[in-house]
Amino acid sequence: MDIGVFLLALAMVYLLPGPDMILLLHTGARDGCRAALATAVGLGVARGCHVALAATGLALLFRTAPWTFDVVRIGGGLYLAWIGLQLLRAPVGLPVADGAAGLSTVSYGRAFRRGLLTNLLNPKALLFCSVLLPQFIHPQNGPLALQFALLGGVLVVVGLGFDSFYAISGERMGRWLARHRTMQRVQQWGFGGILLGFGVRLALIRDL
């Protein structure tokens, strides 16, 4: 097991812009670091679920019964598109960015659920775990289940580290945006449009 290569692979994936990153940055900017961290925890729980599902081989169901993949991808696409539309329709303003940290417009529970569902309803996240983890698991290194659990734990912890960075960055971005109202609108519409685009793209994916 080459843990260095594994960590590098994870870093490359977590650095790529995606719906998780956009959601964290927006939540941090609009609702503060704590709400964004709640979203990050939701994302982490979802990744843990994907690791568990990959360990049981449930990802193979997507290949043997393609309709299950279609159900998840369409559901995930619609959910991302709904979040994007909510951002586009929301009034312009950053209640925590003016220095009133903690004045969140979303409960921590709702922020957690948003992160959980955003990642959990993305079938590509499950397929990623199913493809990446087995490449670093070797029989000579010990029980396969233990290796899968350890690598899965590393995947979740590293993800939380990157997500926490994006949450903090989002709040700092929000404080800057508070002094530039025009940029608040650009940020809100930009992030909303990106999430809407991710949702449409996910819903239209045909191949595993």
- Amino acid, res. 57: G
pLDDT score at 71: 85
Residue 17's Cβ-count burial label (10 Å; 0-12, 13-18, 19+) is exposed
Q: Two tokens at 49?
A: 């679920």
The parent domain of residue 163 ranges over 3-204
- Pairwise CA distance, residues 87 & 101, whole Å: 20
pLDDT score at 68: 80
**Domains of the chain: total:** 1
Q: Two tokens at 157?
A: 């912890």
pLDDT score at 195: 87
Positions in the chain whose pLDDT score sits under 70: 1, 59, 91-105, 206-208
pTM of the entire structure? 0.83
pLDDT score at 67: 81
Q: What single DSSP character describes residue 116?
A: H
CB atoms within 10 A of CB 23: 31
Q: Give the DSSP per-residue string, 47-102.
A: HHHHHHHHHTTTTHHHHHSHHHHHHHHHHHHHHHHHHHHHHHHSPS--TTTTS-TT
